[in-house]
Amino acid sequence: MPLWSTFPSFCSILGFPNSGRREKNSKHRSVVFVDMWWLFSRKGTSGFSAASTAEEVTEGINGTGLTAIVTGASSGIGAETCRVLALRGVHVVMADINLSTGSNVKEAIMKEIPTAKIDVMELDLSSMASIRKFVENFNMLNLPLNILINNAGVALVPFLLSQDGIELHFATNYLGHFLLTNLLLENMRITAHKNGIEGRIVIVSSVGYKVTYHEGIRFDRINEKSGYYSFLAYGQSKLANILHARELSNHLKEQGIEVTVNSLHPGVIATNILQHQRFWNGIVTAVSKYVLNVMKNVQQGAATTCYLALHPQVQGVSGRYFVDCNEAELKSHAADTNLAKKLWDFSMGSIS
């Protein structure tokens, strides 16, 4: 397949508009970008838009007394999420594979916010042993848990298996978070019951969920190299994130547990998530410099995550999917209730 022919799928995964229009001169191109900026800054029913920042959507909110775990916390929107939560008084536990980088981020936040409460703990989401060890270490801190933000992820990696023999996108982006959530849920339930404040689980997905294998989740071939394509494997994992949020929400409601769970698309942001694809990473970096009107900065990219974690507007809202701090309609496989149930059963069997 020619490299250029993958660009439409790549645009879909990252969230770029892909109308197929080609402008013949710079004047027309500038008009397109102005039109995109108008859409970018248009506010939805929440009062926020794609141009809103994490600080703006949490302005005036006091998170003192709350504790949050954020995965993938040492860079990009994860680091900004930690900074803004700490700014609002939340005790933040940074869960990251790189302790050194995480410590540097913590130090930077502490310089800006001397009163911040931040812990850095090691977590490799591609390893079930690491996840279990993280939860064990977290429980030893005897901390409550109000907010869990499943943010970490990898994108477009060559075919690789985790140490547990699971395809890396699926292991890191989805199944690792599924296990982490499962192990932390009892703490969240107890915390919500004791303090009367609902717990919130926030799952960072992507509009790339639309670009997946034809069956949505290829249950019988997840770990096979044959037929593997990085764009589709990434989309499969992000579809799984959304299905997880929907099905977990149903289980929590049925059990009367005061914990909500929602998924989101953060937007098009130039971060290090494409580190395994040097060609596309170069394109995104270049675009971020010259086409700022269609890309978010990190402050804007973290907005929807922080909105779902703290804003009172989403109190009691669960099982939904958000884009730019506003609820969005789910398409195709993501709206398949039977697929969500099948994935739940498959995942429970995989982590047992």
- Residues marked as catalytic: 228
| Phi, psi angle pair for 219, to nearest 5° | -55, -40
Single-letter amino acid, residue 136: E
**Paired strand residues for 262:** 202
Say how far apart CA 103 and CA 106 lie, in whole Å: 5
Instruction: Using DSSP, state whether 5 is helix, strand or coil.
Output: helix
Which residue intervals of the chain are DSSP H helices? 7-14, 26-41, 54-57, 76-87, 99-112, 128-140, 168-169, 176-195, 230-254, 278-290, 298-301, 303-310, 337-351
> Residue 120: which H helix or E strand, with range?
strand 118-122
DSSP-derived secondary structure letter, 172: I
Spatial neighbors of 20 by CB under 8 A, at least 6 apart, are none
Spatial neighbors of 221 by CB under 8 A, at least 6 apart, are 227
Say how far apart CA 352 and CA 9 lie, in whole Å: 35
Q: Are 171 and 162 in contact (CB under 8 A)?
A: yes
Say how far apart CA 124 and CA 84 lie, in whole Å: 23
Say how far apart CA 279 and CA 134 lie, in whole Å: 34
Say how far apart CA 193 and CA 195 lie, in whole Å: 6
Region label for 284, one of left (φ > 0), alpha (ψ between -120 and 50) or beta (otherwise): alpha
Say how far apart CA 203 and CA 263 lie, in whole Å: 5
Q: Are 200 and 260 in contact (CB under 8 A)?
A: yes
Residue 39 CB neighbours (<10 A)? 13
